[in-house]
Every structure is written in structure tokens, then in C-alpha cells.
Chain A
Amino acid sequence: MGEACCGPGYPSPAEAIKAPREKLLYTIAIYTGTGIQKPDYLATVDADPDSPTYSQVIHRLEMPGIGDELHHMGWNACSSCHDDSSMARKYLLVPGVRSNNIHVIDTATDPRAPRLHKIIDGAEIRAKTDLSGPHTVHCLGSEIIISFLGDARGEAPGGYLHLDKDFEIVGRWEASMGDIPFGYDFWYQPRHNVMISSEWAAPNTFMPGFDLEEVGYLKYGRRLHVWDFEKRVPIETMYLGEDGLIPLEVKFLHDPDSTHGFCGAALSTNVIHFWKSDDGKWAWEKIIDVDNEPHPEWPIPVPGVMSAILVSMDDRYLYINNWLHGDMRQYDITDPHNPKLTGQVWMGGLLGRAPEVNGVKVAGGPQMFQLSLDGKRLYVTTSLFSTWDNQFYPEIRTQGGVMVQIDCDVDNGGMSINPDFIVDFGKEPNGPSRCHETRYPGGDCTSDIWL
């Protein structure tokens, strides 16, 4: 680490913050579950304010087939191989949750017009590794691991697919899943030999849609798992109980020396803070609890549904969403035990606080987001998952998703909707599509890990 300069990424988070501003965004857009019989695609969005096509989709790379449900994605390489001059951040790995296909997309040859490099066939992954329902992609030095939420028949807990740098299947990454009941997201901190994983549900449970009753039948997760990263085995469980119903996104602070991290419990709508305590044990506490909100048509108050969280590259701010309420929040986490709410904006949601943003009617609520490396621009999209969208926001079928830019004050805290930027995926050439996760060619705030 330190002075090396030839591989992908940056020598440190502090260097990453100084990177040039992002000018292109990649976001996936789906037709799966919308009634439009077209493939899902990777959209390139122009984010350069000086460009004539600013705030527009300038390229669409269609997948070869329909029904993938593209969802999350990740880079083939990040700052974890900054020392390796043979590596480059060139390929986005874009899994289809429903099809099991992994699309490897070359974004470097022409960054404005990414092209398909390779497909790892979903049936081959099922046959060779007994996995289905791909989710989080992280690179691991020059190799890649992807969490899968189910076995080949869609039953939990699934496991981890290990790919080499040429995108060949090595096999299962983990030595054991222990007694882990469910998988979802994961993040690792190599200097502490630790990985933390979270729990959604089995594909057969979440893919058809959400049912509250199934939470009661323990079909959804409520635990975090601590792994021995080198031995690739889970060694400790943090049982979160009612405070941690459906713990989804896991993020460590970017500082590679830190053991502090966070998880958003979607249904409880809480932020869980975890860290390694002085006696070497992993500890956790609930640091943010978003109250359910009354709604005139609901028999019970509406939960926020915190489906994503993100930590700024300088480790100062934590961003969270409330997909059903419709707000994005910024917390100062300088003291991770005592977060301070420093910003909040509304866009869509069920509470009716901001049905329109920059002249576009918002179907859905703030859902996935990506922050610029300098922490000043937060790009937010509105679709969660086709079947869940259809349950909570049926109007998204005809309106499509939107991408909004929130300007963030990194000095004093605060957030505001940027008035010049909005991408209306309701106006796509093949009909309304739904945008989800976003990444930038130069790396972003949820991709890079430092060794």
C-alpha cells in the first residue's frame, strides 16, 4: 500500500476523495415484472453538467435474454489490488437475481457505450456450485466473490461463488456456512481478518413478493454473522431480534484500520452499529430508530423500510433511505455511537411529502443510492425489486423509475435536491423501466476495500 500507483483504485480513502469528478453513471434498468417483454439493460447516464446530454440516458446495453432482474453489481477490481499493475477496473459484473446469469460487461473500451464481454451461464452456476439468487459482488484482490441467497432450488442459505480474474468458476468460496440460515450482503475488512454478512431470505421467499406473516414464520433474517475471513468460516453470530428484522446492507467504515461498521435493518428501520470491542468480542447496538408513520389508509403505521445504507469516503456521514416513507437522511457519524441527523430530503414515498421532484411524478421512494467519491453528489433511484415494487407502488408499472441527484454539504451537513438533474425512466424508448443500483467508472463509495 501507500505509494503504489499502477493498479486500479487509490492508495487510500483520502486519495480516493481527491479523484476527478464522475462524468458517467452506470445504472441497471429492468423490464422484468413490468409487462414489457424486453431485456433488462445497463444504462449510461451523462453526469457532466457541461455536456449537452447532461442528465440523460446516453447508451443502453441490453442483456441477451429477458427475465434476468438485474439488481446489484460490482467491479472486477478495486483498490484492494491497487498494487497489482496487471489489474484494471474494467469489467462490471452484473448478476440477474432471477435468471442466475452473471453478465460481465466491459466498460473500459468505450466507457460511454459498455459492451458485453462474457456471460457466466446461470444453469452452469447451478450445476457446478448449487447456488442461485446472486446478490453482492466484491472483488477479493484479483479474484471475485458473489453472495448467492439460495441453493439451486432457491432454498436458503445459499453461499458464495468464487470466480477467478478471468471469470471462470473456481467453486464455492466459503469453507462452511456454519449454521447461518440466510444470506444477503457482506463486507470485509482484511486488516482485522473479518467479514460481516447479513440476512434477507430464501429466493423462494422474497422473489414472489413480501408477506409480513412470513416474518413471523422466521422466513426472514434477523442476524449478522462474523466470519474468519482467511479461514472462510463463520465464527460468531449477533442476534438482533426485533431491533434487526431483515438486516440488509452491511458497510464498514472505509478506514481499513477501523472495526466499526453499520447495517440497515429494513423492516425494523433501524441502523445497527457493530464494532470489535476491547476484549476482542464483537458488539452491536441500535443507533438509529426511524419511527413508523401513520397513514390515513393503513391499519397500522407505515414502516420506513431502510433498504440501503452508505458511508461517505471520509467516514463522516452515513446515508440511509426510507423507501416507504419517501425520505433520504444524512447522519454525522463522527462518533459512531451517537449519530446526529444533519440532513433530510423527500422524494416520492407513501406519505405524500414530495409526490413530484423537478417536474417528474415519482413512483416508488428513495431506494438505492451512490455517492460521489468527494461526498458531494448522491444519486438516488426509486425501484426496489420488481415484485415488491408491484405490491407497494403499483403505479411504477406505468410511470417507471427516476434517478435524482441530491447535493450534500460535506462541511456543515445538509442535503438538497439538485434542480438541474433528473432522469425519468418512465420515458425510455421501450417503455417505462425501473432503475436500481448505480456505479461510476472510477470507483465509488460502495465498491472499494483497502488491504
Chain B
Amino acid sequence: MSGTRTITIANRGGAAYSVAERRPLLDTLREQGVDLPYGCRYGGCITCAARLTAGTIDQRRQVALNNRQLANGYVLLCVARPVTDCVLEIGVESHGLLYRNPFLDPLAPHELKPAIARPKEP
């Protein structure tokens, strides 16, 4: 059906939901009973982060994730809209790579937030 996408939640037994492509996944999944964490609801904090393992998401409004978190597949559901059908891991069980001790494991210049990251050295 045009205008909808199928979202599969890998860590909820592969449950699948049909959602509107133009609305944030936090809203469309919660409306169908998926229990999701959230905080700021504008893409500025990472409370609602989930991990995208297949598909494409438009999250151009997010300002909180750094390039390493983005490379690891994290999406902020409060501003994420599905471009294609997607597979997600949700909740804090998906946050294994989201948090790191910044002193033990610092970011390289290209891994910073997109607004301040430098291009990766060849």
C-alpha cells in the first residue's frame, strides 16, 4: 500500500507493524502498542535511540547522534521516518554500542557529530 512501510522489531519476536511513511516512528509504533522509551521528542537527546539493521530511515532532524553512533546504525525514533521497509532493534537492549566511556574510547575526528566532524583521513 502506498504511503505505508512495514517495520519489523527483531527483538520483539519479529513483530511487524504497518506505519505511515511520513510520521515519526516513535508515534506510529507507540500508537500500535509498542512500548518505547523517549525523552525530548525533537531529536536532541538519545533516550529513544533504536538500531536499524535493515532498510533506510530519514532522520535529518536529529542533532544528537555522532558519526560513530550513526555508523553503528542508531536512529532516533522521535524524528525518524521510514523511507523503506525496515528492521529495528528497540529499547535499551539495543544500546550496547550507544554509550562509551569518552576517556577510554575517544572519537576520531571523523566520528564526531556531523556538524563538527572532519573528513576521514584517507
Contacts and interface: CB of A to CB of B under 8 A. Distances in A.
A211 B44 contact: no
B44 A297 contact: no
Contacts of B101: 391-392
Given A154-B40, A207-B64, A397 B92 contact: yes
B96 to A, nearest CB: 10
B64 A98 contact: no
A203 to B, nearest CB: 6
Interface in A260-300: 297-300
B65 A208 contact: yes
Contacts of B35: 37
Contacts of B39: 32-33, 67-69, 98-99, 207
Contacts of A34: 92
Interface string A287-320: 0000000000111101000000000000000000
A213 interface: yes
Contacts of A211: 66, 102, 106-107, 112
Given A33-B47, A154-B63, A207-B64, A387 B99 contact: yes
Contacts of A132: 40, 44
B46 A207 contact: yes
Nearest to B108: A213
Interface residues of B, number: 32
Contacts of B103: 212, 298-300, 302
B104 A33 contact: no
Contacts of A386: 47
Nearest to A33: B47
A35 interface: yes
B116 interface: yes
A115 B82 CA distance: 41
A108 to B, nearest CB: 30
A154 B91 CA distance: 23
- Contact residues of B: prevailing secondary structure: loop
Contact of A37 (B37, B104, B107): B37
Contact of B44 (A69, A203, A214, A392): A203
A390 interface: yes
A433 B104 CA distance: 26
B45 interface: yes
B116 A32 contact: no
A129 to B, nearest CB: 16
Interface of B: 35, 37-42, 44-47, 63-66, 91-93, 95, 98-104, 106-107, 109, 112-113, 116
29 contacts: A32-B37, A33-B37, A33-B92, A35-B91, A35-B92, A37-B37, A66-B38, A67-B38, A68-B39, A98-B39, A150-B44, A153-B42, A153-B63, A154-B42, A203-B40, A204-B64, A207-B40, A208-B66, A211-B112, A212-B103, A213-B109, A217-B112, A217-B116, A298-B104, A386-B47, A387-B47, A387-B99, A391-B101, A391-B102
